Structure 1
Amino acid sequence: MEILERDKEAAPAMHPDEWQARVQLAACYRVFDMLGWTELIYNHITVRLPESVAGGAKQFLINPFGLHYSEVTARNLVKIDAQGRILDGSAYPVNPAGFTVHAALHEGIADAHCVMHTHTTAGVAVACSEGGLQQTNFYSAQLHERIAYHDFEGITIHAEEGPRLVEHIGDRQAVILRNHGLLSWGKTLPQAFAYLWTLNRACEIQVATFAMGPARAVPEAIAARCSRDALQFDVRYGAGQDVFDALVRKVDRIDAGYKH
C-alpha cells in the first residue's frame, strides 16, 4: 500500500481536458467494479487523450497494474504512449499484455477513443462456445451484424497479433475474442460501455437459456430491424451517455473517492 499513500500527495497541474478524461475513466472503473466486471487486478479500460492534451502525439490513459478497480482514481491512472511507455512519471507499472490489444485498436481504428475488455463468466463462456453468440434474445438481436470475432492466439503480448485483430474487427464495435472474453470500442467512453453492456447481457441470457434446453431463434428479419432500432449506440441519441451517467451517480452514492 506504499504507492497508494503517494496518491495523497498534491496532484500536478494538468490540462483540464486531461483531468476530465481521468475522472470519467476512473468513474468507469468504479462502475465495472459495482457491476462485478472485475478480474482481480487484470483487464483494462483505456482512453485516447484528445488533441488538446496530446498535440500531435498519441497518448492514452490506463489503470495502474496491481490495483483493484475499486482502488483506481483520476490521479493514479497512468498516461502512456502507443508503445505502453509511461509518460507521467507514475510510480505504478503497466501490464504489457493488457495494452497490446488496446494499442492495436487505438492505432488501427481512427474512431477508437475508448477500448474495454472483460472476462466475465458469461462472456468467456459464450466466447468458448462453438457457435458464439446466438440470435435468440432481445439483446443479441440488437447486435445483429454488429459483432466481430477474433480467434484465440494465446496471451496477448505479441504485437504481431494486432493487425489481424484489427482486420477481423473491421468497423464492428462489439467483439468476441474466442476462448478469451469480450471487447468493445467506442467513439466515446459511454458508447463503448453501451456496446459492452449489451453484449455481456446477451451472453448472460444465452447462458441461462441454454441451460434450460434448446432456444427459440429470433428471425433474421426481426433481428435486423432490432439492430437498426437500437438507438442507444448512436451518438445522435446520446450513445449510452444517460445510462453511464445514471451508473456514475450510483457510484457517487457509494464512494466518490475516484474523483481525486
Structure 2
Amino acid sequence: MAMLHAVQRPRDIGEAEWNTRVALAACYRLVHLSGWTDLVFTHISARVPGTDHFLLNAFGYAFDEVMASNLVRIDLDGNVVDGSSARIHKAGFVIHSAVHGARHDAGCVIHTHSTAGMAISMLKDGLLPLSQHAQFFYGRIGYHDYEGLALELDERVRLVRDLGSHPAMILRNHGLLVAGRDVPEAFSILHHLERACQAQLAAMATGAPLNFPPEDVSRKTAAQGFGSEGAPFGEVEWPAMLRRLDRLDDSYKH
C-alpha cells in the first residue's frame, strides 16, 4: 500500500491507522469518480492494522465527502470505538463485519450497487468468462442469493460461506462485493469486475453469438490474476490514481 502522509495527523491516531484512513478515503473518492455510487447506501471498509476493528463511512456521507478524519472505527459487533457519535448503516455493518470477521486476509472490502453490477447479478448465469477482465474471475467468484435488506445478523454466516476464499462475489439481484489484501488491491479487483460486467452487457446487447475462450485458457488466465506471484494489480496503478485525485481535490487526506 502506498504510504500517504496527511496534513496534521491527529495525535490520538497511530501512523498505520492514519495511512489506512487516507487510502480508504481515496478509494471512496475514486469510486465516486467512477460513477459506482448509490447515494449513501453502499460502503467500503478497511481493517485497522493489527486489530479486529475496521473503518467505515459515517451513514449519510456521500462518497465525495469522505475524508480520513471522518471515517468511523467500529468493532465486529458494530460498536463505534473511536469516541465519536457517528451513525453506522446497519446493512453496511452486517456485510462488512461478516467478511472482516471471517477473512483475516481481507484488508479492504468494497460493496457496490453499480448499474452494470446489478444487471449481471440479475442474470441466471451471472458473470460469463468472455472478456479478459472476466477471465480473472473464472472459478474465483462466489454467488450469494438475495435475502432482502442485509439487516439480519445471521445472514453473515451465509455471506461468508458463499464468498469462501474468492476475491469477489456477486450478490444476486443486489450488486457486487470484492475483498482485497489492502485498499489498492481491492480497488483494482473492483475495477476489473466492473469492466467485465460492462463488457458482457455490451456484447450481449448486440444479439450476436458469443465467443467463449477454451476452459484451459480461462483457468490459466485466472491463475495469472489477483494474488498470483508477480501480479501488479493494485501496486502499479494505485499511485497514478492518487495523482489523479490530488490534481482534482486532495481533501480526502484531511
**TM-score by shorter chain over 0.5:** yes
Q: CA deviation at 1:31?
A: 0.7
CA distance in 1, matches of 2:79, 2:85: 13
Q: Alpha-carbon deviations, 1:189-221, whole Å to 9, x = none?
A: 122222211111100001111010132222211
Aligned to 1:31: 30
Larger helix percent: 1
Q: CA deviation at 1:236?
A: 4.5
Q: Alpha-carbon deviations, 1:72-123, whole Å to 9, x = none?
A: 0000001111111111122431101111011011111121111110111000
- Indicate if the aligned counterparts of 1:46 and 1:116 stay in contact, CA closer than 8 A: yes
Aligned to 1:229: 224
CA distance in 2, matches of 1:180, 1:245: 31
Which runs of structure 2 are paired with 1:31-180 in the superposition (5 Å)? 31-51=30-50, 54=51, 58-180=52-174
Evaluate the alpha carbon distance shift between residue 10 and residue 31 of structure 1 in structure 2; reply closer, same or farther with a 3 A threshold.
closer
- Indicate if the aligned counterparts of 2:110 and 2:179 stay in contact, CA closer than 8 A: yes
- Asked if residue 219 in structure 1 is aligned to residue 218 in structure 2, the reply is no
Q: TM-score, normalised by structure 1?
A: 0.90
Aligned to 1:4: none
CA distance in 2, matches of 1:91, 1:73: 17
CA distance in 2, matches of 1:174, 1:64: 24
- Indicate if the aligned counterparts of 2:9 and 2:18 stay in contact, CA closer than 8 A: no
What are the ranges of 5 or more consecutive residues in structure 2 without an aligned counterpart? 1-7
Aligned to 2:15: 16
CA distance in 2, matches of 1:244, 1:128: 31
- After TM superposition, the structure 1 stretch with the greater mean CA deviation from structure 2, 235-244 or 169-178, is 235-244
CA distance in 2, matches of 1:142, 1:240: 14
Instruction: For residue 97 of structure 1, give the secondary structure of its aligned residue in structure 2.
Output: helix
- Indicate if the aligned counterparts of 2:25 and 2:68 stay in contact, CA closer than 8 A: yes
What are the ranges of 5 or more consecutive residues in structure 1 without an aligned counterpart? 1-8
Q: Alpha-carbon deviations, 1:33-90, whole Å to 9, x = none?
A: 1111111111011011112xx4xxx211001111110000000001111111111122
Number of residue-to-residue matches in the alignment: 246
Q: CA deviation at 1:169?
A: 1.4
CA distance in 2, matches of 1:10, 1:200: 34
Q: CA deviation at 1:238?
A: 4.1
Q: CA deviation at 1:233?
A: 4.0
Q: TM-score, normalised by structure 2?
A: 0.92
Choose which of 192, 196, 205 in structure 2 pairs with 1:202.
Answer: 196
> What is the percent sequence identity of the aligned residues?
41
- Indicate if the aligned counterparts of 1:194 and 1:233 stay in contact, CA closer than 8 A: no
Provide the aligned C-alpha RMSD in A.
Answer: 1.7
Instruction: For residue 241 of structure 1, give the secondary structure of its aligned residue in structure 2.
Output: coil
